[in-house]
Amino acid sequence: MGVAVMKLRNPPVNSLSLECLTEFTISLEKLENDKSIRGVILTSECPGIFSAGLDLLEMYGRNPAHYAEYWKNVQELWLRLYTSNMILVSAINGASPAGGCLLALCCDYRVMADNPKYTIGLNESLLGIVAPFWFKDMYVNTIGHREAERALQLGTLFSPAEALKVGVVDEVVPEDQVHSKARSVMTKWLAIPDHSRQLTKNMMRKATADNLIKQREADIQNFTSFISKDSIQKSLHMYLEKLKQKKG
Ligand SMILES: CCCCC/C=C\C/C=C\CCC/C=C/C(=O)SCCNC(=O)CCNC(=O)[C@H](O)C(C)(C)COP(=O)(O)OP(=O)(O)OC[C@H]1O[C@@H](n2cnc3c(N)ncnc32)[C@H](O)[C@@H]1OP(=O)(O)O
């Protein structure tokens, strides 16, 4: 039926390393150019984890040129996903913090597994960093200004039930039904003529995407100088240590 399933596989936690981001972008571009493909189901092959988000090791202890290169690729993936002409449905089968949530938010429909261990949200503030304006814009577009304002400041990671209530996801289903539900949702969306759906999607998303497109270079500079600060590097160090200690 012209649907591809993209399974994220970058063990142990599907963090979006530079290599993973690049591969993701290239795969997406290939699908976009394949006229037989109308929809993509985005999911994970890592048990219990959709994606741990951006790779902290790409943003910690590196040099400014590396940060700039990394951020350019993060922007590129986001622009491709968010403005894709294809129907994107995410089958969120695990934890989905920060950049993981970003991937899901780019989709046209989000189905999440009903497992309270899995959480989703833009938790950047918990790391001592700030979600960039285009992450924020997409959050506002999805859950509204008030909910986004609160969730961004608190760095809220929502359980599936909470995520459904606030609108971060569209549907929560038993874990063993995430993929079948994503397929049935896709079937419904495929019934809509592509040209009208694509024009409508473009109308809804263009202003948000253009907001980044018109200031990509400045956004890279902002990220690079922000992430290079000693205080921010210290926060990331502490967060990485906390992740290590969690293991005991
Ligand atoms: C006004 C001025 C504003 C200027 C602003 C300008 C620009 C904006 C600036 C910055 C924007 C940055 C945006 C950042 C977005 C992100 O996505 S940051 C990443 C956020 N991710 C997280 O917080 C998730 C952290 N991880 C976890 O919570 C857990 O690992 C888990 C995903 C729930 C999985 O748990 P579990 O199965 O128990 O696995 P472990 O915790 O044991 O982890 C295994 C190993 O993986 C490492 N790891 C985990 N997450 C990441 C990651 N995101 N990146 C890299 N590595 C990660 C973890 O450390 C373990 O490693 P070791 O085995 O100990 O070596």
When pLDDT is cut at 50, 70 and 90, the band that residue 248 belongs to is low
Spatial distance between the Cα atoms of 223 and 188, rounded to a whole number of angstroms: 39
- Based on the residue annotation, tell me whether 99 is a catalytic residue of this protein: yes
Which is nearest to 92 in space by CA: 41, 43, 139? 43
Residue ranges of the alpha helices (H) in the chain?
18-33, 64-82, 99-105, 133-143, 145-154, 160-166, 178-190, 194-213, 216-228, 230-246
Interface pTM (ipTM) of the complex? Answer: 0.98
Ligand 1 touching residue 14 (CB < 6 A): no
Query: Hey, which of 20, 56, 217 would you mutate to test ligand 1's pocket, going by the most ligand atoms within 8 Å of its Cβ?
Result: 56
Q: What is the DSSP letter of 58?
A: G
Which entry of 10, 14, 73, 123 is annotated as an active-site residue?
Answer: 123
The vertex-135 CA angle with 117 and 152, nearest 5°, equals 60
Q: What is the DSSP letter of 125?
A: G
Asked if 168 and 147 touch (Cβ cutoff 8 Å), the reply is: no
Which is nearest to 209 in space by CA: 87, 32, 99, 82? 82
pLDDT tens-place string over residues 156-200:
999 999 999 999 999 999 999 999 999 999 999 999 999 999 999
* Cα torsion 118, 75, 106, 87: sign: negative
Half-sphere exposure of 42 (CA within 13 A, CB side): 27
Please state the atom number of ligand 1 nearest to the C-alpha of residue 54.
Answer: 17
User: Does the pTM exceed 0.95?
Assistant: yes
Query: Hey, which of 243, 245, 246 would you mutate to test ligand 1's pocket, going by the most ligand atoms within 8 Å of its Cβ?
Result: 243
Please state the atom number of ligand 1 nearest to the C-alpha of residue 52.
Answer: 32
- Based on the residue annotation, tell me whether 54 is a catalytic residue of this protein: yes
| Average pLDDT of the chain, as a whole number | 97
The two tokens of residue 118 are 């899995």
Pick the CATH number of 2-191 from 3.40.50.10860, 3.40.190.10, 3.40.5.50, 3.90.226.10: 3.90.226.10
When pLDDT is cut at 50, 70 and 90, the band that residue 246 belongs to is confident
- 51-57 mean pLDDT: 98
Ligand 1 touching residue 161 (CB < 6 A): no
CA of 246 from ligand 1 middle (Å) equals: 13
- Based on the residue annotation, tell me whether 69 is a catalytic residue of this protein: no
The structural domains of the chain, with segments of one domain joined by +, span: 2-191
Of all protein residues, the one whose alpha carbon is nearest to atom 32 of ligand 1 is 52
- Based on the residue annotation, tell me whether 56 is a catalytic residue of this protein: no
